[in-house]
A and B are shown apart, each in its own frame.
Chain A
Amino acid sequence: MTLKTTRRGALTTLAGAAGAASLPLWARYAQAQTSEPIRIGFQQHATGIGAAYGRWYGRTTDAAAKLINDNGGINGRMVEIVAEDDGTDPKRGAEVLEKFANQHGCDVGFGTLFSHVVIGSAPRAGELKLPYFVVSEGHHVASGMLNRYTLQPGITDVKSQVQAMAPYVAENLGKKVTMVFPDFAFGHDHRDFFTAAIEAQGGEVLEHIAIPPSETSFTKYFPKIPRETEVLYHVMVGPAVLTFVKELGEFFGPSRPEMFGFIDSLEAVDLASPGLDYLDGTYFWEGNPRHAQEDQSEYDKAFRAAVGVNERGASISDPSDVSTYAHMFGCWETLHVIKAGMEAAGYAGPNDRAALIEAVEAMTDMPESLAHPQGAKIFNGKTHQVFGHQYISRVENGNLVKVHTTSIEDTLYPDEVDYTTQSF
């Protein structure tokens, strides 16, 4: 009896196997696919110049993937983050994308911050036909220098950020501006975009003071600031930023012009640090308010809890470990866009990559939600770039207090490219 049952069981199994073998190839493929996770290649700056950002981008990405998986994944499949270090190096960046496509079987590439890595990697993404979702803020996507496979749906670009500051600055701080910026591409972007934007508001830039990138003392540049300056626009970066603030304080004392800066200068630096008290009463652009505001949304609250940062944007396990709060939401939102795109496209595997890109291109309004805790956004499918609210905060006793939220319209500019006309 036992033998008989066993034989029958064996026969059944055999029949099943034969049945499976007789299925058409595509059906077996689809079945295997559904049990496989969705693999998202995370091009992470784990080492190199971008590593501090990479650490927080990693933390945010892990938190977003966990949330997506806890809610059933994407199209019923779990999300697996495959993190590869690109060393913040364009050459390695391109190699990493190749590994994603050819070795790790990733469905998409994601997560790059530094411009030179994006620019070095995007052509390879195009060759590999691998959708490449960057979180870089660079204008390189919307400027048309990349390709149809590269998209930036989770973070706004520097051009829109800078130009959106001009109306508030002109109206509230002053129309006569002096700009201090490091003398290379990053500073030049600010110089070009803001100068044009403030002129459009009827203001003017009295003086452009370009500081050599290797400079570590600034006193000799300050006398170039014209006396009639109403607003000092500063975007200094690098290890000498604290020295810059200190020397600025020594130069101006209490009778300073209004000051406006980008939080990039002090991203991941505690504003309550000694020496930074001189910045009290000055203004900063913030991509996402680091300190929880009075009108904090439930989504921001949930985002902080998931990533593990407190109301001051610092790690819950160490309040002196300040996050890159103005930027890292971009990873969270981009992953949710990938999820929405895959669901809209019925994404089943690499054959649907083009459909995924078309689905994202078709997106427009992205309402504020748990998927978009930084705020509502509008995606431009032609330029592959998202647009959204920007924030201006005033430093008050070491706290960044939001004083202005730009409209999305303030951040828009005419299209410079239409990627949808490019073939896959």
Chain B
Amino acid sequence: MRRPITAMLLFTLCPCAAYAHAAEQGFVLLLPTDIYIAAGAASVALTVILMAILPPGAADRLFATRAILRRAPVKGRHAVSLLVTLLLVTLVWQGLAGPRDPLRNPLPLSVWSVWWIGLVSLQGLLGNHWRWTNPWTGLGAGLHRLTGLRAPLRYPRVLGHWPAVLGFLAFAGFLLADIAPTDPARLALAVGLYWYAMLLGLVLFGPAWMVRAEAITVAMRAYARMGALGRRRGRLALGLPGWQILARPSPPLALAVLMVILLGTGSFDGLNETFWWMGVLGLNPLEFPGRSAVTGANLTGLLIANAALLAIFAGALWLGERLAGTHRPVLTAMRLFAPSILPIALGYHVAHYLTAALVEGQYVLRALDDPLGRGWHLLGLTDFYVTTGFFNTPHTVRTIWLAQAGAVVLGHVVAILLAHAIAIRDGAETRRAVLGQAPLALFMIAYTVFGLWLLASPRGL
């Protein structure tokens, strides 16, 4: 039978996947989301107004840090990285030899649920764990120490971070448009080959390769700027997420572009599931024909969404420079303000994947209980069944939705604060900073509405 009904029940492993669920989406449609969206947008607008009337240093002070540890450099990160490499090799082997079911195989669960949802969020919320969990650096350092050889080639400076931009777009294309990104064997090949290619780059070009060309590391380091924890004057410091952005010089242009693309990709990840997008493609949202039918469309959409976001963002900055009379070149403004996009991207990442995390977290637990599919119960989960029951009652659905909306709104509020603090730090007095930011602030308020609309929209995927 045509089972479109299940359009309402879907929940899938993360790529392509809001864990939409019949009842969940049904209950969301019954929530007064219009009011919630208006309230969210109003909170962001209020932040803008507060920034205009409060004294110039107010935003800056919010990002003040507190040193929590006088920290001698902790050793052992290469050892941890080597362990992660070992784990990755095991996972790739399991991807090729383990269970074929992506919800039982540890590789897709580790890549899409643990890393892409969990570790990326942690990197942004907490701080740079990628220094330790990067699967290349330990091996790279080890090889260097063993052979005593230096990288034979010099990384071409002219390339800057652009290889990472291309690499991230390729990753996003795999996530959003590949026919089967969760298929264990397919993913094992992709992960294995990518890991090997990047290791080769590291050996040939040295660490510059990691921090300029390797897309995952570059994206992770970008998100690390959002972390509440970070190093400041040799100490471990804690502050409002975003403080590290203010503490650092503005990024080079390619890295600034990547920061915008993090948001553009996340937004398209949400958009491509909506009834609206299905309508654009002329597809019946209740009878989604499968990813193989939308590969080209999703790739095109991904590129258009990112290009459009870059254009709108640059346009808002250009207008702001005119209004404030500061007349910085738009590319300079882009480098200056792109990091203020990061909290929006992070907020949406958390919001978009929250439902998936609730379900996939259970599959991860089940896989930890029996990592090699041998019928073990290492965690003692003998009668453990994955549940989606929390999508089935109105109050849990409302709680989940409001948590998602909260993440989106908070992201935008922090973005407004950051943008304002950046402008003041760059020497503008309050009036100019506010004037110059008016277009950017309008953009962020509009983006709040857009982000919340994405969460409230019926989805056909």
Contacts and interface: CB of A to CB of B under 8 A. Distances in A.
B179 A53 contact: no
Interface in A244-275: 246, 264-265, 267-270, 273-275
Contacts of B279: 214
Contacts of B429: none
B2 interface: yes
A382 interface: no
Contacts of A47: 12-13, 15-17, 102-103, 182
A154 interface: no
Interface string B271-305: 00001001100001111111111000000000000
B100 A237 contact: no
A53 B10 CA distance: 8
A320 B7 CA distance: 19
B332 interface: no
Nearest to B13: A47
B388 to A, nearest CB: 6
A187 B50 CA distance: 53
Given A46-B101, A186-B287, A216-B275, A273 B8 contact: no
Interface in B1-50: 1-13, 15-17, 20-23, 25-30
Interface residues of B, number: 65
Contacts of B376: none
B394 A274 contact: yes
Interface stretch (A108-116, A195-203, A293-301): A108-116
A318 B279 CA distance: 36
Contacts of B287: 49, 116, 184-186, 213
Nearest to B12: A47
B100 to A, nearest CB: 5
A52 B284 contact: no
A275 B397 CA distance: 14
B147 interface: no
Contact of A52 (B10, B182, B389): B10
Contacts of B3: 50, 53, 113-115, 136-137, 186, 264
B406 interface: no
Interface string B447-461: 000000000001111
Contacts of A239: 7-8, 20, 22, 25-26, 28-29, 458-459
Contacts of A88: 288, 290
B284 A158 contact: no
Interface string A74-106: 000000001111011111100000010000100
Contact of B180 (A92, A240, A324): A92
A411 to B, nearest CB: 14
A291 interface: no
B5 to A, nearest CB: 4
| Most chain A CB within a 10 A radius of its CB, from B13, B183, B396 | B183
B194 interface: no
| Most chain B CB within a 10 A radius of its CB, from A55, A83, A116, A239 | A239
Contacts of B103: 46-47, 85
A214 to B, nearest CB: 5
Given A52-B9, A273-B394, A87 B180 contact: yes
Contacts of B25: 239
Given A268-B9, A320-B392, A185 B2 contact: yes
Contact of A238 (B5, B180, B389, B394): B5
B387 A318 contact: yes
A48 B16 CA distance: 8
Contacts of B22: 52, 239, 241, 267-269
A406 interface: no
B352 interface: no
Contacts of A189: 1-2
Given A138-B2, A275-B30, A90 B290 contact: yes
Given A49-B461, A186-B287, A322-B392, 13 more contacts: A46-B103, A47-B17, A48-B291, A49-B7, A49-B290, A52-B9, A182-B286, A184-B284, A214-B278, A239-B28, A241-B5, A273-B27, A315-B387
23 contacts: A46-B182, A49-B290, A52-B10, A52-B388, A53-B6, A82-B100, A88-B288, A88-B290, A92-B179, A92-B290, A115-B3, A116-B287, A139-B1, A184-B2, A184-B287, A185-B2, A186-B3, A213-B287, A239-B458, A267-B5, A274-B394, A316-B385, A322-B389
Interface of A: 44, 46-53, 55, 58-59, 82-85, 87-92, 99, 104, 113-117, 136-139, 157-158, 182, 184-186, 189, 213-214, 216, 237-243, 246, 264-265, 267-270, 273-275, 308, 314-322, 324
